[in-house]
Amino acid sequence: MLADLVADGDLVVLSGAGLSTESGIPDYRGETGRRRQARPMTYQTFVGSAAARRRYWARGHLGWRHIARADPNAGHHVVPELQRRGLVAGIITQNVDGLHQAAGARDVIELHGGLDRVLCLGCGRRSPRRDLHDRLNEANPGWRDESAAINPDGDVALSDERIESFRTVDCDRCGGVLKPDVIFFGENVPRPRVRECFTLTERAGALLVLGSSLTVMSGLRFVRHAATLDIPIAIINQGPTRGDEHALLTLNAPLGPTLSGLVRPSGR
């Protein structure tokens, strides 16, 4: 049934953190997320506390090295292949790791932004994360990664003592506070971006959810919207999701092998 839905074309993909676990990036609510017990930074805490920002950037500076080195997995590569075959009409991702694009996907809507960019809260300028990474290296010579416990936000666990020794930097244009260009918990996705996702969903021949528990409304709203329009929904995830009741098909299965079967030549 999954192959038939995909073959009909006009597929809109909605992906979540479970798609990237096979690339070594843990999710929030799946098995890897439960083991990590990650506590994500909220927007209110970040903007309201210099100490919180130092903690975020100290942990994120080391964690970014892991994210930047991560490679797309088999599941990521299937999506642009389906796109090349004219079967995928659009991609919405809740992920901030950029692995869809690294695999060759085009026109990806990053619902929650991307860790590869930095936003100045003062002047609004966006700049590459690699530039900030270089500046933080200069401000913190000898800073080394002593932790392998990367979290879903792209940071690592550090002791309070190490965090206190970390030096942050501000915008080199206006001196404003720098924030990763991602949507923190407690922060709203920009309305134009949400409208774009709703419009894409409304035009879908089918909605394919990949690796999302749909626990938060950010992604679930598009599943519910598709359901009200009688658009077929298929969900592939390791574990139950909040959208299962709306789905024509649910598969509790690993993403890479399952998706690879959609593009594997017959007879192999």
Q: Which residues are annotated as a binding site?
A: 94-97, 120, 123, 171, 174, 211-213, 237-239, 255
Name the pTM for this structure: 0.91
Please write the tens of the pLDDT for every residue from 97-119: 999 999 999 999 999 999 999 99
pLDDT digits (tens, 9 = 90+) for 122-178: 999 999 999 999 999 999 998 765 555 566 556 677 878 889 999 999 999 999 999
Say whether 112 is catalytic: yes
Which residues does 134 contact at the CB level (< 8 Å), separation at least 6? none
Q: How many domains does the chain have?
A: 1
Q: What is the SS3 assignment for 53?
A: helix
Distance CA 236, CA 238 (A): 7
Average pLDDT, the chain: 91
The tens digit of pLDDT for each residue in 26-69 reads 876 555 444 444 567 899 999 999 999 999 999 999 888 888 99
Known binding positions for Zn(2+):
120, 123, 171, 174
Burial 188-198 (b: 16+ CB within 10 A, else e): eeeeebbeebe
Domain residue limits at 68: 2-263
- pLDDT by residue (tens digit) across 169-206? 999 999 999 999 999 988 999 999 999 999 999 999 99
For residue 268, is it within any domain?
no
Residue 100 CA to residue 98 CA, distance in Å, equals 6
Domain presence at residue 58: yes
User: Can you give the pLDDT at residue 39?
Assistant: 66
**Annotated binding residues for NAD(+):** 94-97, 211-213, 237-239, 255
Percent of the chain with pLDDT over 90: 79
From the candidates 112, 133, 225, 246, which is the catalytic residue? 112
CATH number of domain containing 64: 3.40.50.1220
Within a domain: 170: yes
